[in-house]
Amino acid sequence: MSEEGFGGFRDTWLIRGVGIREAKALLQVERELIDLADRYASNGEEFDAICEALETGDAETLPTRLRQSSVSTDIALKVCEAEDDSPSIGLDLGVAGLVYGLAAAGFWTAASCRGHPGTYAWSDHPIVVFACDRHRVAVLQPLVEAAGCGLTTDEHREGMLAVVAESVEDTMALARMVADHRSEFIPHRVSRPRSGGQATQGVFDFGDY
């Protein structure tokens, strides 16, 4: 554990204390911006470049054809808005909602990536690396399958798990499922009865809310 999060990743930060309303709000913004990028991109490279501009507010990262022509008003406005405040909270569009959804459900997210083209990209597909308890991963597994994603271990970091996907559409679908099933991720246990009393069902929650 460090100021940059955990798991030995660089340029990361610890994300805790996320509320479910905050996660759902980010999911809505992410859906809008991903749809916008998809509308104007002609290939995967352009899609990634447009997403980066929408995340950072840097119009110079837009594809050349969009910079040389008059940029559509809807893209221009969103890029300008991102100059002052990143709509994805500094995370990659396409996985930001999943990161916040998992955090709201008590997972410890360590690193994430939308997947980028190029030889030096950390990942060429969407991925979110995290740690959690047995109960949470048991609840997550069928949702991962339903969303068309995969659940695997991180071979370089013992004890860490990762959600992987072929498309950000899959990670966003999973994010919505996690948010909708958030209450199921809270572990329960039967409390020990007091002398002469009966066992009662109590809530035991490992996360910070």
Mean pLDDT rounded to a whole number for the chain: 86
Distance from C-alpha of 116 to C-alpha of 99, rounded to nearest angstrom: 17
Tell me the pLDDT band of 4, cut-offs 50, 70 and 90. Answer: low
pLDDT digits (tens, 9 = 90+) for 85-119: 899 999 999 999 999 999 999 999 999 999 998 88
Q: Are residues 57 and 32 in the same domain?
A: yes
Q: Are residues 52 and 77 in the same domain?
A: yes
pTM score, whole prediction = 0.85
Mean pLDDT of 11-30: 93
In a domain, 144, yes or no: yes
Q: Which domain holds residue 98?
A: 91-183
Q: Are residues 107 and 72 in the same domain?
A: no
Q: What share of the chain is helix, strand, coil (3-state, %, to 5)?
A: 45, 15, 45
Q: Are residues 164 and 139 in the same domain?
A: yes
Q: What element of type H or E holds 109? A: strand 108-113
pLDDT digits (tens, 9 = 90+) for 41-71: 999 999 999 999 999 999 888 888 787 666 6
pLDDT at site 74: 78
Q: Is the pLDDT of residue 136 over 80?
A: yes
Number of domains in the chain: 2
Q: Are residues 169 and 148 in the same domain?
A: yes
